[in-house]
Amino acid sequence: MGTAGAGQARRGKLELDNNRHHPESEMKLGRYLFALYALTALSLWADESVSPGHQFHQAPDRDGVYYVGPEVTAPRMIRTVYVPYPNGARLKDIQGMTAMAMVIDAKGAPQHIQLLHSHGDAFDQAALAAVNQSKFAPGTLDGKPVPVWIDVRVVFWANRAQTVPEVLITERDLPPPPDSQFEDKHHKPLSYTPPIAIHTVDADFTDPFTRHPFVQVAVVTVLVGQDGLPKEVRTSRGLGFGLDEKAAAAVWHYKFLPATNKGKPVDARRNIMVNFAKF
C-alpha cells in the first residue's frame, strides 16, 4: 500500500497501465467526510447518555471503497497462477519484489491497480498479468460484498523458485475505542482525552530481503489537528537503515479521533509505535 499530505495518494504509488481509469483520490478518505465523521462522533460522546464505543461505523472513501477493519472483511484470493520470470533477466537482477495496491470490487475483480514497489517493468508486468488472471472472493460488510482496498505482492527469487501473488493488508480501519478510554473510574466523562488512532498504515521496508537483528518498530511523535489529521510528524526513536523516513511517511496517512478538552476538539501530540509491512 512518501510524506504526502492527506489529499494525496499514500506512499507515492505509480499507476500501472491496466486500461482502467485511476482517479487521484483513490487512496485517501475525503477530508470533509473524515471531519464530519470525527466531529459527529465527538458531539455524541459529549452526551453522557450516549455510549461512545458504538457511535460510528466503517464508511467508504468518497469513491465508495472500504478498507479492511472491524466491520469489513478482507478479500481472499481463491485462485491464481504462477508468475513467469522474464526471459533474458540477468541473475543479479532476478531477486526482488513487485507490490501493488488495488481495489477488489464487489464481484471479486481487481480494479484500479497501482504500483507500490517496482522491480522493473518486465517483472511488474508479469506480476500484473498474474493478478488479472486471479480470482478473488470480495470483502464483505454485514455479509454483503463491497469493494475493498488491498495490497498484493509478488516475490521473485534468485533461484527462480515458483512464485504467486499474495494478498497483504497493510492499511486498515481500527475498532472503535472502548468507553473506558473516555471515562474515569466513576464512569464520568474525562475532561481531557488524547488523540486515538482509527486508521493506520504499515511502513514499507527499504529492502524486502533485509533481515534486521532487532524489533522492527519505530516511535514517531505526531501533532494531531482538531480535524483528526496529522499536522507535524517526527521520529522520536529511530531504527536507521532508511527506515525512519518510512515510519514518518506512514504516520502522515493515519487518521485519529482528535484530542478533546472539556468536550471540544484540540490539537495535541502523541507517540505512535509504527510497524513495518512484512514484505
User: For residue range 178-195, what is the model confidence (pLDDT) as tens digits?
Assistant: 888 899 989 899 999 999
In a domain, 1, yes or no: no
Q: Containing domain of residue 146, as a range?
A: 10-275
In a domain, 2, yes or no: no
Q: How confident is the model at residue 176 (pLDDT cuts 50, 70, 90)?
A: confident
Quick check: 257 pLDDT over 90?
yes
Give the per-residue SS3 of 31-97. Answer: HHHHHHHHHHHHHHHCCCCCCHHHCCCCCCCCCCCECECCCECCCEEEECCCCCCCCCCCHHHHCEE
Q: What is the mean pLDDT of the chain?
A: 81
pLDDT at 26: 39
In a domain, 5, yes or no: no
In a domain, 4, yes or no: no
In a domain, 107, yes or no: yes
> What is the tally of structural domains in the chain?
1
pTM > 0.85: yes or no: no
In a domain, 139, yes or no: yes
DSSP assignment of 173-203 equals EPPPPPGGGGB-TTSPBPSEE--EEEEEEPB
The proportion of the chain whose per-residue pLDDT surpasses 70, expressed as a percent, equals: 75
pLDDT at 16: 60
* pLDDT tens track for 191-237: 999 999 999 998 876 566 766 545 567 899 999 999 999 999 999 88
pLDDT at 29: 41
In a domain, 142, yes or no: yes
pLDDT at 51: 40
In a domain, 260, yes or no: yes
